[in-house]
Amino acid sequence: MQKPKQHGYFRRFMADYGIVLALVLLCVYFSAVTYTEQQPTGAAGGAQLAAEIARQTPAGARMLIAVRGSRDDAAFADALGAGLEASGRTVVETVKGEPVDARRALERVTQAGGRLDVIACSQAAGKWSVFDNLATRFPALASVQVRVPRGYRGSNFLKADNLLNVANQIAVIAIVAIGMTLVIITGGIDLSVGSLIALSAVVSTLLIQKYAGAEQAGSGGMLLASLGGVALCGVVGLFSGAMVTLFRIPAFIVTLAMMLVASGLAFMIAQGQSIYQVPDSFIWLGRGADLGMPRAVWLMLGLYVLAHFLMMRTQPGRYVYAVGSNPEAARLSGIPTGRTLLWVYALSGALAGLGGIVMASQLKSGSPTYGQMYELYVIAAVVVGGTSLAGGEGRVFGTLIGAFIIAVIQNGMNLTGVESYTQKVILGLVILGAVMLDMLKRRGWRLGGQAK
Amino acid sequence: MKRRALLAGLLVTASFLTGCGGGPPADAPAAPSGGSTSTAPAAGSKGTIGLSVLTLTNPFFKVIADSMTEEARKHGYDVAVVSGEFDVAKQQNQVKDFIVRKVSAIVLTPCDSKAIGPAIQEANEAGIPVFTADIACLAPGAKVVTHVATDNYGGGKEAATAMIEALGNEGGKIAILDFPVVESCILRVKGFKEVIAKHNTDHPSGKIEIVSQLNAGGAKDQGNKVTEDVLQAHGDLAGIFAINDPSALGARAALEKAGKADQVKIIGFDGQPEGKQAIRDGKIYADPIQFPDKIGVQTVEAILKHFAGEETPKEVLIPTALYRKADGEKDTTL
C-alpha cells in the first residue's frame, strides 16, 4: 500500500522533526488571525502622508504635526515635516510627545491668532481625543482636518519585530531546555531548573551589588558575578547527579528536593526582596541586539548549534544516548555511565544558571520569584520537541522547535487578546495536540498499537 | 491510505486550531483583529488598552479588571486583560506583546515594583503611555503617567477612628497585626498610630496603649498564632487592629478559642466578602473598606484625561470608607 518515496532527505527530516509541521500550522494560523490594519510608520510613512496631504491641500496651507515621543514617531514627523515644507506647505508647529503637549500647541496657535488647515498625525496620535470636537473648544480651528497615513493590510504576527520578540521571549526557556533534553535522554528528569534560574539571578545580582561596585560595576565584575551564579548552579546540578549515581535515588526525588532547596536559598540570600542595584549596562545581554537580532537569541542559537554538534558528533554525546536507551548494556560495554550522568546534570544546572543570568539582565534585577513553574514549560518544550520521557531518544533542535511552539502560542494569544484563563487551557490542549500529532505520525497514522 | 490518514490528521489539527481561534471573540470582544480600526480617528473603536494585573485569583484584581473594562467600553476603548500571576518575566512578555499590538495605553499592577522597570521603559520608548493601579512602580527611569491606588494612609487613620469609637471612654491596651514588607500595609499602620497618638494627648484619661505590634503576614494562620501569643502576654487586651481581613479573621479565631471574643474588639481592613460577613455577624467591629471598582474607573478616567491633553496628577488616591455592623445588615451583596 505504501509507495516508496524518492524525497529521502525530506522524509528523513520530517521523521526527525515532524513537529515542524505543527509549528508551521500555528504560524500560518496566527498570521491569518492577526491580519489587520497596519499603519505606515517611520520616515516612509511620514513621506507618504506628506505626499497625500500635498495633493489635497493648496500651497501655503498651514499644518500642525503631532506624533508620540518614540523614535519611530520622531522619524515619521521629521520626514512628514520635510515633505510638507518641500511642497510649499507651512508647518506651524511640530509636537513630539504627549496629548498635553498637543493641547498646549493648539492654545499657542490660537492665542497667536494663527490659522490651521490640517493636523497631520501618526496613527496613534490621530486617536488622541484632544483633537475631538475642536470646533467647540477652539472655534478658530473649526475647519481644521485631522489626517493620518492611509493604512494597509498586514499580519501583526508576521512582522519582523514580532518574530524577534517571540524568539527573545523564549530564549530563557530554550536555553534551559538544552540541558533538560540531555537529562531526559539519559532517562532522568530535572525539576530544579526553575529554582536554579532564581538562585542564579539572585546570586549574580547580589555579587554585583556587594562586591563588583553595585551601580558602578564594570563589565569584568559583572562577568565574574554572572560566572559565579552559573558555576553555583552547575555545582548544584553536579550534586543532583551525584545523588542519582551514587545513591541510586530517583532523579525525580533528588531534583524535587533540590528545587525546594534552591528556591529557599534564593529567598534567604535575597531576603525575599528583588535586588536591583546593578549598573544600566547590565542589560547588555538581555536587551541589546547585534545585526538586528537580540543578543539573548544569538546566545540561544549558538548554544543549540554547540549542543547539536556535541550530541551528534562527539563520543560523550553518543554516550548520553547509550546511557538512556539501556543503562546496563551501556555499563557492560564500558561506557562510563556514572561520569556521563554527572556531567549531564551539572550541565543542566549550569544552563539553568545561564538562563537566570539572561532573565536578570532582561529585568535588570534579580528576584527569588523568578522561574516559578519554568521547569514545567521547559519539560513541555523538550517533550513537544520529540524527546521520549523513557530516555534514549531525542534531538536538541527538536527541543528548540518545541520551545518555539510554546512561544508562538503564547504570543499569538496575547496578540489576539485571549483572556489569561483561556490561554492556559489552550496552551495545555495544544501541547497535547502537538505531541499526539507527532506520535500518530511516527506510527504511520494508525491508532493504538505499540509506540516506536 | 497513508495519505488519507495524513489528511485526516491535518484536518484534526486544523479544526483544533480554529477551535482555539473561535474562542477569543466570544471571551474577549476586545480582540482588535479584523477591520475595526480605521484610518479615520473618529470612527469605531478608539483603540485598545492593555491591562496586565498581578493575579486574577484574587477577587480584588478581578474587580479592577472588570470595572476598567466596563468603564473603558463606555468611552469607546477595548480592554485586553492578561495576568502576570506573580511572574514579572511573564508580565514583561505581556507588555512586549502589547507594544507589538500597538495598544493605545498600558495599565499595570506590577508583579514586582522594581523589576517591572525595563518593561515600562520599553513601552516609554515605543511612545505608549503607562498607568499603574494599586501597586506602584518604584524603578528609577521608568515613566508612569498616573498611579491610582487606595489611600492606605487615610484608611489607617479611619481604622484608628473606628478603634477609638469601639473602645469608648475607657481606652485600653491594643495590639497591631502588621505586615511590614508591603508598602501599603506600612502606610496603614502609620496613619493608625498617628490618630491614636493624637487621641491620647487629647484624652489623657481614656488612653489607648499599643502594647504589641507583630507581623502576622497578612494571613489567617499567622494572625491566629500571633494573637494567641499576644493574649498570653496581655490577658487584659481590649482591641486589635489587623492590616487586612485574613489576619483579622485569624485573630478572631484565636479570641474565640481563648474565650475573649467579647472582651477584644477587632478592626480589620479591605472589605473582602468574608470580612464584610464577619462585620455583619459582629465578629469584627469595623473595616475601612477599599474600592477596587473605583480604582478601575479612576484609571480609565486618567487615561481619558491624558488623551484629551489635560494635565494628569502623578497619583490618584481613592479614600476608604468605614464599614460597620449596620452597613453589613443593609448590604444586599452578602
Reported confidence tier of residue A411, pLDDT bands at 50, 70, 90: confident
How much is the pLDDT for A450?
55
Specify whether B137 is located in the same domain as B182.
Answer: no
Of the residues A98, A363, A431, the best mutation for testing chain B's interface (the one with the most B CB atoms within 10 Å of its CB) is A363
How many beta-carbon contacts under 8 Å exist across A and B? 223
Number of H helices, E strands in chain A: 19, 8
Indicate if the pLDDT at residue A397 is higher than 80.
yes
B277 contact partners, CB below 8 Å, separation of at least 6:
B328, B334
Mean pLDDT of B31-48: 47
CA distance A286 to chain B (A): 10
From chain B, the residues in CB contact with A26 under 8 A are 17
N- to C-terminal Cα separation, chain A: 20
B260 contact partners, CB below 8 Å, separation of at least 6:
B231, B237
How much is the pLDDT for A12?
67
Q: State how far Cα A248 lies from the chain centre.
A: 37
Of the residues B15, B97, B215, the best mutation for testing chain A's interface (the one with the most A CB atoms within 10 Å of its CB) is B97
How much is the pLDDT for A225?
94
CATH architecture of A160-442: Orthogonal Bundle (1.10)
How much is the pLDDT for B213?
92
How many domains are there within chain B? 2
Name the least confident of A32-41, A228-237, B206-215: A32-41
pLDDT digits over A244-292, tens only? Answer: 999 999 999 999 999 999 999 999 998 877 888 888 888 888 888 888 8
From chain A, the residues in CB contact with B93 under 8 A are 169, 410-411, 414
**Beta strands A118-121 and A289-290, pairing class:** unpaired
Mean pLDDT of A383-407: 89
Residue B187 lies in a domain: yes
Specify whether B126 is located in the same domain as B78.
Answer: yes
What are the backbone dihedrals phi and psi of residue A357, each rounded to the nearest 5 degrees, phi first? Answer: -65, -45
Residue B282 lies in a domain: yes
Instruction: Determine which helix (DSSP H) or strand (DSSP E) holds A101, and give its type and residue range.
Output: helix A99-111
Mean pLDDT of B110-139: 91
From chain B, the residues in CB contact with A166 under 8 A are none
Of the residues B100, B116, B311, the best mutation for testing chain A's interface (the one with the most A CB atoms within 10 Å of its CB) is B100
Indicate if the pLDDT at residue A185 is higher than 80.
yes
Instruction: Determine which helix (DSSP H) or strand (DSSP E) holds B132, and give its type and residue range.
Output: strand B130-133
Specify whether B276 is located in the same domain as B198.
Answer: yes
Mean pLDDT of A179-200: 95
Q: Does A363 touch chain B if contact means CB atoms closer than 8 Å?
A: yes
Of the residues A11, A281, A419, the best mutation for testing chain B's interface (the one with the most B CB atoms within 10 Å of its CB) is A419
How much is the pLDDT for A20?
85
- Tell me how far apart the alpha carbons of residues B42 and B46 are, in angstroms, rounded to a whole number: 7
Indicate if the pLDDT at residue B179 is higher than 80.
yes
Q: Does A283 touch chain B if contact means CB atoms closer than 8 Å?
A: yes
CA distance B72 to chain A (A): 14
Q: Which of residues 128-147 of A touch B (CB under 8 A)?
A: 128-132, 146
CB contact under 8 A, A68 and B127: yes
Indicate if the pLDDT at residue B172 is higher than 80.
yes
CB contact under 8 A, B33 and A72: no
CA distance A5 to chain B (A): 12
Q: Does A372 touch chain B if contact means CB atoms closer than 8 Å?
A: yes
* Residue with grid cell 555499563, as numbered in its chain: A331
From chain B, the residues in CB contact with A75 under 8 A are none
Range of the domain at B130: 48-145
Strand (E) positions, B159-314? 172-178, 208-215, 237-242, 265-267, 287-289
pLDDT digits over A321-378, tens only? Answer: 999 988 889 889 889 999 999 999 999 999 999 999 999 998 888 988 899 889 999 9
Mean per-residue pLDDT over chain B, rounded: 84
Give the nearest partner residue to B308 out of A36, A67, A129, using CB atoms: A129
How much is the pLDDT for B73?
94
Reported confidence tier of residue B44, pLDDT bands at 50, 70, 90: low
Indicate if the pLDDT at residue A10 is higher than 50.
yes
How much is the pLDDT for A127?
85
Mean per-residue pLDDT over chain A, rounded: 87
Indicate if the pLDDT at residue B210 is higher than 60.
yes
Q: Which cell numbers in the block locate residue B218?
A: 497578612
Q: Does A359 touch chain B if contact means CB atoms closer than 8 Å?
A: yes
| Chain A residue closest in CA terms to B101 | A415
Of the residues A30, A130, A276, the best mutation for testing chain B's interface (the one with the most B CB atoms within 10 Å of its CB) is A276
CB contact under 8 A, A126 and B41: yes
Residue B215 lies in a domain: yes
CA distance A7 to chain B (A): 15
Name the least confident of A211-220, B92-101, B259-268: A211-220
CB contact under 8 A, A417 and B80: yes
Asked which of B145, B172, B189 is the last residue of a domain, the reply is: B145
CB contact under 8 A, A369 and B111: yes
Specify whether B217 is located in the same domain as B237.
Answer: yes
How much is the pLDDT for A399?
94
Reported confidence tier of residue A382, pLDDT bands at 50, 70, 90: very high
Percent of chain A with pLDDT over 90: 38
At residue A426, the 3 state secondary structure works out as helix
CB contact under 8 A, A416 and B115: no
Strand (E) positions, A82-128? 90-96, 118-121
CA distance B291 to chain A (A): 23
pLDDT digits over A297-311, tens only? Answer: 999 999 999 999 999
Asked which of B145, B173, B194 is the last residue of a domain, the reply is: B145
pLDDT digits over B48-68, tens only? Answer: 999 999 888 778 899 999 999
Specify whether B159 is located in the same domain as B282.
Answer: yes
Specify whether B125 is located in the same domain as B175.
Answer: no
CB contact under 8 A, A414 and B98: yes
pLDDT digits over A76-128, tens only? Answer: 999 999 988 888 888 888 888 889 998 888 888 888 877 888 888 888 888 88
User: How many Cα atoms within 13 Å fall on the side-chain side of residue B143?
Assistant: 14
Q: Which of residues 215-274 of A touch B (CB under 8 A)?
A: 272-274
Name the least confident of A60-69, A416-425, B1-10, B167-176: B1-10
Indicate if the pLDDT at residue B19 is higher than 50.
no
From chain B, the residues in CB contact with A272 under 8 A are 181
How much is the pLDDT for A448?
67
Specify whether B81 is located in the same domain as B164.
Answer: no
How much is the pLDDT for B320?
94
* Residue with grid cell 475601612, as numbered in its chain: B288
CATH superfamily of A42-150: Response regulator (3.40.50.2300)
CB contact under 8 A, A437 and B127: no
Mean pLDDT of B211-235: 88
How much is the pLDDT for B34?
34
With beta carbons less than 8 A apart as the criterion, state whether A296 and A168 touch.
yes
At residue A1, the 3 state secondary structure works out as coil
CB contact under 8 A, A36 and B104: no
CB contact under 8 A, A419 and B81: yes
How much is the pLDDT for A327?
86
From chain B, the residues in CB contact with A123 under 8 A are 39, 102
Indicate if the pLDDT at residue A440 is higher than 80.
no
Specify whether B113 is located in the same domain as B201.
Answer: no
Angle at Cα B20 formed by Cα B18 and Cα B26, nearest 5°?
105
ipTM > 0.85, yes or no:
no
The interaxial angle of helices B152-167 and B183-202, nearest 10 deg, is 40
Domain boundaries, chain A: 42-150, 160-442
How much is the pLDDT for B26?
34
From chain A, the residues in CB contact with B39 under 8 A are 37, 123, 148-151
Reported confidence tier of residue B16, pLDDT bands at 50, 70, 90: very low
At residue B217, the 3 state secondary structure works out as coil
Asked which of B145, B176, B194 is the last residue of a domain, the reply is: B145
Specify whether B213 is located in the same domain as B274.
Answer: yes
At residue B234, the 3 state secondary structure works out as coil
Reported confidence tier of residue A16, pLDDT bands at 50, 70, 90: low
Q: What is the pTM of this model?
A: 0.75
More confident residue, B34 or A360: A360
pLDDT digits over B227-283, tens only? Answer: 999 988 888 999 999 999 989 999 999 998 888 989 999 999 998 888 999 999 999
Phi-psi group of B50: left, alpha or beta (phi > 0 → left; psi -120 to 50 → alpha; rest → beta): beta
Of the residues A37, A71, A119, A157, the best mutation for testing chain B's interface (the one with the most B CB atoms within 10 Å of its CB) is A37
Mean pLDDT of B103-129: 92
CB contact under 8 A, A100 and B48: no
B82 DSSP β-pair partners: B52
From chain A, the residues in CB contact with B32 under 8 A are 36, 417
Give the nearest partner residue to B94 out of A36, A276, A414, using CB atoms: A414
Name the least confident of A4-18, A132-146, A361-375, B62-76: A4-18
From chain A, the residues in CB contact with B14 under 8 A are 25
* Residue with grid cell 495545555, as numbered in its chain: A428
**Beta strands B321-323 and B287-289, pairing class:** antiparallel
Domain CATH for B118: 3.40.50.2300
CA distance A416 to chain B (A): 5
How much is the pLDDT for B32?
37
Specify whether B268 is located in the same domain as B242.
Answer: yes
Of the residues A416, A421, A422, A430, the best mutation for testing chain B's interface (the one with the most B CB atoms within 10 Å of its CB) is A416
CB contact under 8 A, A172 and B89: yes
How much is the pLDDT for B273?
87
Instruction: Determine which helix (DSSP H) or strand (DSSP E) holds B50, and give its type and residue range.
Output: strand B47-53
Mean pLDDT of B192-197: 96
Mean pLDDT of B204-224: 88
More confident residue, B45 or B27: B45
More confident residue, B278 or A448: B278
Separation in Å, CA B53 to CA A288, B23, B106, B194, B292: 27, 21, 11, 32, 12
Residue type, A135: A
From chain A, the residues in CB contact with B17 under 8 A are 25-26, 29, 430
Q: Does A163 touch chain B if contact means CB atoms closer than 8 Å?
A: no
